[in-house]
Amino acid sequence: MWQPFLDWVAAAAQDIGVAATPIIGSIPARNWWDADYRRKNLPNTVHTDDRPGAPETHVWWAGNQNEIGIFWHGYQSAWLPAALLKKDQQERLDDALFTASRHWPVALHFNKGLAGAPSEEVEAARDTAMNPAVLDAFALAIIAGGRPATYLSIPGHAPDLGVARKNAGKIDQSMAELRKIAPDAGSYVSETNFFEPSWQRSFWGPNYPKLRAIKAKYDPDGLFFVHHGVGSEDWSADGFTRLTAR
């Protein structure tokens, strides 16, 4: 499946550089979370908890190794609509991705958009609280960065706030380039900006009014509270002071 693309990249060596050898893996879906299967067949994809007595099922993705103890400088995401793949939009998409990458690396997670999925899967997802932008997104763009192994109590591992703010600014600039071509893209609530300014629209889109009404009906006293969760605009940042009258 990938060979035509790899051949095209190889033929354009004067214009395109490959930073690392492509890794293309295939695994039965039933074994995706099977720790023993991965250790035997794809040992480089997981790390095993080597503490004495740790269960054999305790593994984590190798790709997340760099996130252990991380102090995030910035973390943002955006659903990229499939309309950007049309012939008359491809140059805009190319330019935006390139310009964004001049500020900070951009990762495209194709497994997190539903464009092209079977209609029954799209309809099932439509009947959830997620921002409907996911339904016709071909990928989730994630722009993030931070310093791993950051601990206030360990000398040499304290966060460098100057560097963090500088990097946060670059991440903002990078995402701003993608927002120019997808201003209504929304963001994935599980991988998003802690400081998302329009979080109601970004996380849930047109579903928010209905979610707000459900929250008011079943939790009128705000017992369940989370940062930028449904109804959190009624409360102070610490969740202890109601800002709006019931």
Condensed to tens digits (0 to 9), the pLDDT of residues 180-209 reads 999 999 999 999 999 999 999 999 999 999
Query: ∠ CA(181), CA(187), CA(189), 5° rounding?
Result: 175
Directed axis angle between helix 161-181 and helix 90-103, to 10°? 170
Residue type, 5: F
Contact 137, 113 (CB under 8 A): yes
Work out the average pLDDT over 159-188: 97
From residue 120, alpha-carbon distances to 23, 114, 124 in Å are: 31, 11, 6
Work out the average pLDDT over 158-163: 96
The CA radius of gyration of the chain, in Å to the nearest whole number, is 21
pLDDT of residue 246: 63
The two tokens of residue 189 are 């609530």
What sign has the CA pseudo-torsion 94, 79, 107, 83?
Answer: negative
pLDDT of residue 245: 67
What sign has the CA pseudo-torsion 91, 92, 95, 96?
Answer: negative
Would you place residue 239 in the very low, low, confident or very high pLDDT band (cuts 50, 70, 90)? confident
Residue type, 45: T
Beta bridge partners of 137: 81
What are the boundaries of each domain within the chain? 27-68, 71-195, 200-234
* pLDDT for 238 beyond 90: no
pTM for this entry: 0.88
Work out the average pLDDT over 57-68: 91
* Rounded CA separation 45/132 (Å): 32
* pLDDT for 27 beyond 90: no
Work out the average pLDDT over 132-155: 96
Spacing of C-alpha 194 from chain mean position: 12
